[in-house]
Chain A
């Protein structure tokens, strides 16, 4: 296909020409002139631009809230796009909108369209929602005047067995969207947005255009455009490539395709470790988790990405692919230096294999950030202890936010070996010289790193949810 095609207000919309790095929010506000969706932070943090994207799923449609500001227009090919402007029908407010009015859940009203869309997606995703569901859903929507209590009330009142225009049209919508499969290439050799429909074609295109930007969720690449004003002339989007997001449980190893979103892996990784589940639940927001991918979080090489330290501690193996050639390495070896990863131009982060902890192993991980939800880590620590005959026989420790890359604490690991979990409490984290920045001072990072090591050891020994450490 050579035209971007998506569903909007019941009709199929086609766009034959657009700048490859057009952001969805700009398309909505400037081209379509739908002004209901607001621009707040323009970096996927505040949720004022929340829209809902529908994807065909098991004969129905899966609706997810995403941030339109950092979603590229090309990413909605083959999807249904719903914005706040669409909800009221024939002058009657949607149940979610009416609940927001009834609960007095708006004040200045600027964040309100985002909250409405966020709750709209929850209403379609779940039945009988709990307070925790609502709170989790709106973690990616910031309100600075009404307060969240009335908004949560509205969510609890409205997100329950919703029966609306969209739920009734699901089968029809799904059928239309399923007809939009196949490769997409809009533009020419020098300037294009490509969205291959298979993993094979994706690998082939990336090898063919080694200078192209590989776009997965856009939760980082989007900011290159909106904050750094960097023009992206050639874009290859991974999100529609069949097989690229596959998640397979091989018994003792979970194999995660690079394109799997954080939402996709939440359940399976929660079973691998409750700590990992909690880390994922606090990873960005539901908006970010619905877009951002495991592969993207690794490929961008950020020293404060949350998944790499956890996956390194678990002993994950990374697979890369260039054209038809695949190679693999230990995940920690992928991160060479700040902003430098062991990835050639045109090469894709392909898959990560994560071993499940054995019965004599304990895995713990903790995220420390200024704000509990929807925030970037100051320090993120992950620990895997192997305990034999009451003594630590092996340890894998990795931290984010402590060095220029996600990095293992090799010296500390060695110091732990041969000690009981109790004796190990005397070990001092001795691998990092962290920097001070807007998220934490160097001293804070050192102190917290040591506290997390102690917390991990105490919890490995059986203590529950250690909150306060005695000096």
Chain B
């Protein structure tokens, strides 16, 4: 065998060490690329979402679309087996360990410029 037992350099090693290996973030995005940003209820990591008013988000300049759980046409789950990992939250969620992790209740499609603008989302959790 040509390779077994031999010390062979990673074929991208020269690029890695010189910073010339190209990663997704280093590529110029195609014109018109939209970006996805998760929206969170900052009030807590556990509880029932009783209000999630996305009208201000929908109306904000640069926002192309907003998706909440009800917009998912198929099953709202991305777990591999147990069916316990909703993609977007509708009602109840408790994170056992991540005490400060906020609830993700919707996704927004944005133009890039919007990524640095905080959006006012009215929501409450109890």
Contacts and interface: CB of A to CB of B under 8 A. Distances in A.
A223 to B, nearest CB: 14
Nearest to B13: A101
Determine chain A's interface SS by DSSP, over half rule.
loop
Given A104-B10, A106-B10, A436-B99, A35 B22 contact: yes
A67 to B, nearest CB: 16
A112 interface: yes
A437 B100 contact: yes
Interface string B94-121: 0000111000000000000000111000
A46 to B, nearest CB: 14
Interface in B1-51: 7, 9-10, 12-23, 25-26
A39 B13 contact: no
Interface in A82-106: 83-85, 87-88, 93, 97-98, 100-102, 104, 106
Interface string A121-165: 000000000000000000000000000000000000000000000
A438 interface: yes
B23 A110 contact: yes
Nearest to A116: B17
Contacts of A112: 16-17
A93 B25 contact: no
Contacts, number: 67
A191 B21 CA distance: 37
B19 A84 contact: yes
A209 to B, nearest CB: 25
A101 B8 CA distance: 10
B25 A104 contact: no
B19 A438 contact: no
Given A35-B26, A104-B10, A106-B10, A93 B100 contact: no
Contact of B16 (A34, A98, A106, A229): A106
Contacts of A37: 19
A59 interface: no
Contacts of B20: 36, 85
Nearest to B27: A35
B19 A100 contact: no
A356 B66 CA distance: 60
B102 to A, nearest CB: 12
Contacts of B9: 101-102, 104
A28 to B, nearest CB: 10
B46 to A, nearest CB: 13
Given A101-B14, A437-B99, A35 B19 contact: yes
B23 A88 contact: no
A37 B18 CA distance: 10
B13 A100 contact: yes
Nearest to A96: B17
A289 interface: no
B14 A36 contact: no
B39 to A, nearest CB: 14
A83 B20 CA distance: 12
Contact of B117 (A84, A100, A104, A229): A229
A214 to B, nearest CB: 23
A400 interface: no
Contacts of A88: 18
Contacts of A93: 14, 17-18
A116 to B, nearest CB: 5
Contacts of A229: 116-118
A105 to B, nearest CB: 8
A309 interface: no
A346 interface: no
A466 B26 CA distance: 49
Interface in A408-460: 436-438
Interface in B45-95: none
A104 B99 contact: no
Contacts of A2: none
A38 interface: yes
A113 interface: yes
A397 to B, nearest CB: 28
A106 B117 contact: no
A113 B99 contact: no
A85 B20 CA distance: 8
A10 interface: no
A109 interface: yes
Contact of B17 (A38, A97, A110): A97
A104 B12 CA distance: 11
Nearest to B15: A109
A362 B16 CA distance: 49
Contacts of B116: 229
Nearest to A441: B99
B12 A109 contact: yes
Contacts of B13: 100-101, 104, 106, 109
Given A35-B26, A36-B18, A106-B16, 9 more contacts: A84-B17, A85-B18, A87-B18, A97-B18, A101-B10, A104-B13, A106-B10, A113-B16, A437-B100
Interface of A: 34-39, 83-85, 87-88, 93, 97-98, 100-102, 104, 106-107, 109-110, 112-113, 116, 229, 436-438
Interface of B: 7, 9-10, 12-23, 25-26, 98-100, 116-118
11 contacts: A35-B19, A35-B26, A36-B19, A37-B19, A39-B25, A106-B12, A109-B12, A109-B13, A229-B118, A438-B99, A438-B100
